[in-house]
Every structure is written in structure tokens, then in C-alpha cells.
Amino acid sequence: MSSAPTSNLLGRRLDRLRSLAPSERAPVRIERPNHALALAGALGGTVAHDVVVVESSVVLPVDRRALGRLPFTAGSDQPLVCLDLETTGLATASGTLAFLVGIGTWEGDLYTVRQLVLPDHASEVGLLDALGTLLPPDAWLVTYNGRTFDWPLVVARHRMHRRGPPALAGHLDLLTVARRLWKHRLGGARLSLVEHEICAVERDDDLPGALIPERYFGYLRSRRGELLRPVLEHNRQDIVSLGLLLALLASDYAAPDSWTALHPGDAAGLALSLRRNGRIDDALQCIEAAISADAWRVGFEDAAPLRRHLLGERARLLARLGRRPEAYQAWLEICARGGPGAAAAWLHVARYREHVGRDLAGAIEACREAAGVAERARTWGRPMPEIERDLAHRLARLRRRSLAARRFSGAVCRAA
């Protein structure tokens, strides 16, 4: 078949296009709907940087001076910025998008929550710009599991657009704090559990986090902004709960005078943080407050193991501070109580008698007491292999030293 008709048709079309005026050749622009304005109207927000900004405030005083005394927070002069994301997934790879960024900041006692909502994927650069304006370079970021999820995702999205992430002075992940202070008695450290049990927060008709990504996808399909209202309320409460936890830490955990009112397990976790922060004197004061706390009168589950832990930690801290005679007495008190911790306590007594008191016979006697505790534990089906290994080497060395000392004493007597 000849291609002449086709060639003639193409030629006529090209001639017609060449005859058009330049203005007539310009492509037709299609007006796209302004999704940001429509979403802002549905959520009661405004538009900035092509994203929707929804703002609300509550009065939430936080004693920054007290908060700065805690072993895991910033100084009193650095601005605190609470952050929480709602995303399209639970990963931090390139396929996961943060479509809602909640930011909480203080101006005096007024705590303001600003929520940045992404109306469309194409507006992500605007969301990153808006986030940058809300994060001062000296900010101390406060998150919940943000060290492993929220902030790595923020960094990843900036790098996707060939940008550097915002500068920060530091990062406080309250999940780590919750695990150390409250998990022992709550059985978990989810924010919903911690805020309910520690801050007495009651959520009504809260949208489960697992349903949040689908809500955003539903909005993209239908452009019904009201679908995102429960998502914003869920995120807003997360940000408020971060502020409540900071306020509670400042009021109940920062001052030594309040440590006796704490649950002894909470005080033990706080003492661990103080010790790791190099504040040994404060850690000892916290442990002693926990030992004398009023909570022991009420009674609670696992009280005996917790008391043994506190008594042992007190003895270790006394020794670390160079107060060895006091540490020795503390270990003797644990020995007198008996129980599973007595074997390790007798070993500490043996060390003191050998190296400080120069009492080899007393050290051997302490080792025999420890061996008796370990033997009974093995009979009960709870062997102590580390204690038994330590005893085997220690007793052998002490007997050799004792024999050498007796021989030397006899030689001195014969010479005299």
C-alpha cells in the first residue's frame, strides 16, 4: 500500500501549524483546583508554603529550671520543640511520606500546637520549608520514639529533595525515659498507655494509629477534607501529651525533696540515669529516698526483688564514692536479710575483708557463707554459675595466701 496519502496528510497539518500565530501555538493551561485552600477550609486552618497550617493553644506551664536538673533534658535556656509525625507507613525509606507534622512550642506558659498538613504530594517541599521555620537552630527536640522513626524520616525526606535537615541542639526521646521510669510497673511504654497511667489522659473516640495512613489515602482519592479531622485530633493529643510528660517530669522528678513520694521503681530508674550522667551523689540520694519511700507501706507486686536491688545499688554507689566502710556495712545488712542477693553480698564482704581489712580468715568465712547460699539455690533449681566460678577462684587464692601467711608467721617465730 502506498504511503503517499499519509505523507500528504502530515504535510498539510505541518503547513497549518506553521501558519498559526505564535500566541496560538502556546499550550493550553489547565487550571488545577487549589487543594490547599479547600483543605484549609475543611480543617479550619490557613495556607502557608502551599501547606495547611492548623493552630491551637493550651495553658501548660513547665518549670524549665527544674527540667534542666534532670539527667536527660536540655538546659533551661534552650527552646523545647515537641514533634510528632503522621505518615503513610511505618518505615523511613523513600516510599514513606510524612503528610502531617505536629509541632508544639512554648511562649511563657502558653503551649501552642501547629500542625502542617500536606494537601498533595507535590507540596512536600513547602512542608519542609514550613517545618524549617518552626525549628530554631538551638532547639532541643522532644519526641516519642522520634530518635528511631520521626527524625530519621524527616532527614530522609530532606535528602530526597537534596536538602540538609534542620540543625538541632539536641534530641530528647521520651520513649527512652518512659522505659526507664515507668515500664517496670506499666508493663509497656506505648504513648497511649503512659499518658493514661501517668498523666491521666482520657481519649474519646480516638482514631487508632493503624488506620491513619488509609485516612490520608482516602482523602487523596475523594478530596474530602473532613476525613482528616480525626487524624489531626489524634496528632494534637500526641503533641499535648509530650508537653504533659515534660511538665510532670519537672514537677515530680527533678527535685530531691519529691523523690520519697515516687514509686520506688521509678526512683530506681531515675537513679540509674543520674549515675550514667556522672551524678553519683545525686544517684545515692535518690536510691536512699526510694528505700525510705512511703510506697512500701502500701505494698506492691515484686516489692522484695526491688528492695534487694535498691539495697545493692546503694552499697555499690557508696563504694564508688570511696565510702568503703559504709558500703561494707550495707553489704552486711543485705547478707543478714538472706535471699537470692545474699550470695553476691557475701562476695563483696569477702573482697572488703581481704583487700581493706587484711582479714584472710574473715574473707574465707564470707566465701563459705556465699557458697552455702549458692548451694541452697542450686538445690532449689536456681543455680548461680557466676557466683560459683568466682568462689572457686577466690577460695583457692585465699587458702594459698592463708597458708603462706601461716608459714611466714611460723618462720618468724622460730627465728625469734
E strand or H helix that includes residue 104: strand 98-107
Q: What is the pLDDT of residues 1-47, one digit of tens each?
A: 455 666 677 778 777 767 766 655 556 565 567 899 999 999 999 99
Mean pLDDT confidence for 206-233 = 95
Task: Tell me the C-alpha distance between 102 and 143, whole Å.
Answer: 11
Q: What is the mean pLDDT of the chain?
A: 90
E strand or H helix that includes residue 112: strand 110-117
Q: Specify the pLDDT at position 34.
A: 85
Mean pLDDT confidence for 199-216 = 93
Neighbours of 346 (CB within 10 A): 26
pLDDT above 70 (res 271) = yes
Copy the grid coordinates of residue 271.
Answer: 537513679
Highest mean pLDDT among 92-96, 181-185, 399-403: 181-185
Rounded to 5 degrees, what angle do the CA atoms 410, 414, 416 make? 115
Strands 98-107 and 110-117: antiparallel
Superfamily holding 35-252: Ribonuclease H-like superfamily/Ribonuclease H (3.30.420.10)
User: Do the Cβ atoms of 270 and 256 come closer than 8 Å?
Assistant: no
User: By CB neighbour count within 10 A (0-12 exposed, 13-18 middle, 19+ buried), where does 415 fall?
Assistant: exposed
Q: Specify the pLDDT at position 273.
A: 96
Mean pLDDT confidence for 185-202 = 95
Q: Specify the pLDDT at position 24.
A: 56
Q: Specify the pLDDT at position 402.
A: 87
Q: Specify the pLDDT at position 300.
A: 73
pLDDT above 80 (res 165) = yes
Least Cα distance to 370 among 344, 390, 331 occurs for 344
User: Do the Cβ atoms of 81 and 140 come closer than 8 Å?
Assistant: yes
Task: Tell me the C-alpha distance between 78 and 20, whole Å.
Answer: 65
pTM for the model stands at 0.85
Class of domain 260-415: mainly alpha
Q: Specify the pLDDT at position 12.
A: 80
Mean pLDDT confidence for 61-65 = 93
pLDDT above 80 (res 193) = yes
Q: What is the pLDDT of residues 341-354, one digit of tens each?
A: 899 999 999 999 99
Whose cell is 527544674? That residue is 66
Q: Specify the pLDDT at position 196.
A: 96
Task: Tell me the C-alpha distance between 394 and 341, whole Å.
Answer: 18
User: Do the Cβ atoms of 67 and 165 come closer than 8 Å?
Assistant: no
Taking the CA atoms of the chain, what radius of gyration do you get in angstroms?
33
The alpha-helical segments, DSSP class H, found in 27-173 are 35-43, 64-67, 124-134, 151-160
Q: Specify the pLDDT at position 18.
A: 74
Task: Tell me the C-alpha distance between 281 and 301, whole Å.
Answer: 29
User: By CB neighbour count within 10 A (0-12 exposed, 13-18 middle, 19+ buried), where does 264 fall?
Assistant: buried
Neighbours of 396 (CB within 10 A): 10
Q: What percentage of residues in the chain have a pLDDT greater than 90?
A: 78
Q: Which long-range CB contacts under 8 A does 73-78 form with residues at least 24 apart?
A: 73/140, 73/172, 73/246, 73/249, 74/140, 74/169, 74/170, 74/172, 78/138, 78/139, 78/140, 78/169, 78/170
Q: Specify the pLDDT at position 303.
A: 86
Lowest mean pLDDT among 273-282, 342-351, 381-390, 397-406: 397-406
Name the region of 307 (left: φ>0; alpha: ψ -120 to 50; beta: rest): alpha
pLDDT above 90 (res 230) = yes
Domains of the chain, residue spans = 35-252, 260-415
Strand partners, 106: 111
User: Do the Cβ atoms of 104 and 243 come closer than 8 Å?
Assistant: yes
DSSP 174-243: HHHHHHHHTHHHHS---HHHHHHHHH----SSPPPGGGHHHHHHHHHHH--GGGGHHHHHHHHHHHHHHH
Q: Specify the pLDDT at position 414.
A: 61
Q: What is the pLDDT of residues 76-126, one digit of tens each?
A: 788 999 999 999 987 766 678 999 999 999 999 999 999 999 999 999 999
Least Cα distance to 367 among 386, 351, 355 occurs for 351
